[in-house]
Amino acid sequence: MDINEASKFFKNLITETEDRSEEKIYKKFVNILSQLENRDLSEEQLDGIQNKLDDVSIDVKREERKKYFKGKLSEFCSYIRKELSLLSSEHYMTIGMSIGMCLGMSVGMIFGVVFGANTDQSKSLVYGMSFGMPIGMSIGLAIGAAMDLKAKKEGRVLDTKLDYLKK
C-alpha cells in the first residue's frame, strides 16, 4: 500500500468511527502520511515506507481496530524516527526541559546543603531545590530549543506534536 492509498484508507476510517480516541489515531496517521507525501524522499525511503504500510492489515475486526492501529501507529512512528531520522516538533525541547529540571534540582540540593550548613538544614534544601529547578529547566529548555531549531533547519522535523514519535 502506498502513501496515497493508506491516507485514503485512514480518512475512510475517520468517517466510519464514532470513538473520539480512535479517530485521533487515524488523524495522526493521516497527518504523518500527508507530511511524508510532501517531503522529497528517495526511492529507497519510499520503498521502506510502503513496506511498513504493507504490514498494516486492512481486515481488522471493528472491536479490535483501536488497539491494533494504535500499535501500528507506534511501530510506524518508531520506523520514521529510526530509519528516516525524523523527529516530532519540540522533541529536544521536551527532553532538555526534563533533564534540566532533574539536574537543576540536584545541583540546587547540593548548593542548599553546602551553603546552608549554618542554618536550618531542611529549609536550605527546599530553597536550593526551589531555585535550582527553574534555573535548570530554563537552561534545558534553551538548549533543547536550539537543538530543535537546528533539526528544523536540517529538515528533520515533522510539523506536528506526536507522542508516538517519542517512544
pLDDT tens for each residue of 3-17: 999 999 999 999 998
CB 114 within 8 A of CB 82: no
pLDDT of residue 163: 55
The percent of residues above 90 in pLDDT, for the chain, comes to: 54
Interval 85-128: pLDDT, tens: 898 888 899 999 999 999 999 998 888 888 776 666 677 878 88
Distance CA 121, CA 89 (A): 42
Question: Which grid coordinates belong to 18?
Answer: 464514532
CB 94 within 8 A of CB 114: no
Interval 119-165: pLDDT, tens: 666 778 788 888 899 999 999 999 999 999 999 999 899 887 655 54
pLDDT of residue 165: 45
